[in-house]
Chains A and B, each alone.
Chain A
Amino acid sequence: MDWGSLQKVLGGVNKHSTSIGKIWLTVLFIFRVMILVVAAEKVWGDEQNDFVCNTLQPGCKNVCYDHFFPISHIRLWALQLIFVSTPALLVVMHIAHRRHEKKRELRHSEKVDVEELNKQKFHIQGPLWWTYSCSIFFRIVFEAVFMYVFYVMYDGYQMPRLLKCSAWPCPNTVDCFVSRPTEKTMFTIFMLSVSGICMLLNVAELCYLMIKFCMRVPKKPAILK
């Protein structure tokens, strides 16, 4: 059970997504999940081990590390990626429900071609439009919330080289040094920029869906005539 299982689930959504949705999925997997797994995790790999404080007092380093890093950046990013991917599951569930309904309908009338039914693409209209739009809305909200949490927790996006800590049991104000602060700042800015790009893609997709909806509505009176 790892990021690969998320990829399998979201791969199913890809077929029914808009073009912008497909681009969003590609950006998510290549520039966020992959970068997290192959690069960022290694940068943060030795974060507590190489967090050094200028004191021999036992426990001081632990307490200071915990004070300055309540939740590691890597864990926050992993949570962000999971939360941001989860709304797409609403769409997966809705499509599965429609397939199930269709199978039940066809079972009464004629022979069911299960494979063809599974390959069938559902267009984003009607109730599926609402599910899809809600999923995008939630994605945007989760992205914004996590970016705000990052900003509040770490007081900006820069990783300092030196932190001054006076938490108990440190005997006085002690200098603590973070490992690889420049590399961490670079990755934080990178992940932040890609989050921003993903948010923009989601907003664009939402606007596109709204325009599609508005363009479809005026056609109805013509059909009634």
Chain B
Amino acid sequence: MSWGFLRDLLSGVNEYSTGIGRIWLAIVFTFRLLVYVVAAEHVWKDEQKEFECNIRQPGCENVCFDHFFPVSQIRLWALQLIMVSTPSLLVVLHVAYRESREKRHKQKLYKNPGSMDGGLLCTYLISLIFKTGFEIGFLILFYKLYGGFSVPRLVKCDMRPCPNTVDCYISKPTEKKVFLYFVAVTSCLCILLNVSELICSGQIKEM
């Protein structure tokens, strides 16, 4: 039970997605989930162990690390992946509901339970709005918590019990910066795809 579970869930969504939706799914799998699992997780693996402060005062490193990283960037990224993928399940649930309705009434109520019309189109649009909302929300959160997507090499810390202003060094700052920019770019790309899908689906509805 891990990212494979999410991957299996989202594979089910693929069937009921539009063309742009499938591109979105491919980007999420390849450029976000896969990159996270095979690369990014290892970059942040020993973040606290390798966070070093120029002091021998016990507890100073712990407190400074907690001050500068209230929530680790890698955890935010994981939460973002989960929250951004979940709205697609609304579509799967709606299709399952349609299929169970057809079974219950024992007659064909819909042209095809998975066809994007009527209520299912509304559900799809709502899921797109939620996805876009979560993407933007997490980007803002990243920006607010870390003052952007860059990772400094050195931070100055004067929290108690550090006896004075102490230099603390973050491990692998450049590599982390590269991955965070990657997160930002893929998020923006996914937002663009969601917005274009919203516009296209809105036009289909009008027609």
Contact = CB atoms under 8 A, between A and B. Distances in A.
B82 to A, nearest CB: 6
Contacts of A23: 93
A16 B3 CA distance: 26
Given A29-B5, A34-B6, A181 B66 contact: yes
B1 A34 contact: yes
For the residues of B in contact with A, the DSSP-based class is helix
Contact of A7 (B1, B6, B161): B1
Using C-beta atoms within 8 Å of the partner chain, give the interface range for chain B: 20 to 34
Given A30-B86, A179-B48, A43 B1 contact: no
A4 B82 CA distance: 18
A178 B82 contact: no
Contacts, number: 95
A10 to B, nearest CB: 11
Interface string B39-65: 000000000110000000111011101
Interface string B1-32: 11101100100000000000000000000000
Given A30-B82, A180-B72, A183-B69, 16 more contacts: A29-B1, A34-B5, A34-B82, A38-B2, A38-B78, A39-B78, A39-B79, A43-B72, A53-B58, A54-B59, A54-B161, A161-B62, A162-B161, A175-B58, A176-B59, A183-B72
Interface of A: 2-4, 6-7, 19, 22-23, 26, 29-31, 33-35, 37-39, 42-43, 46, 49-50, 52-55, 161-162, 175-183, 186
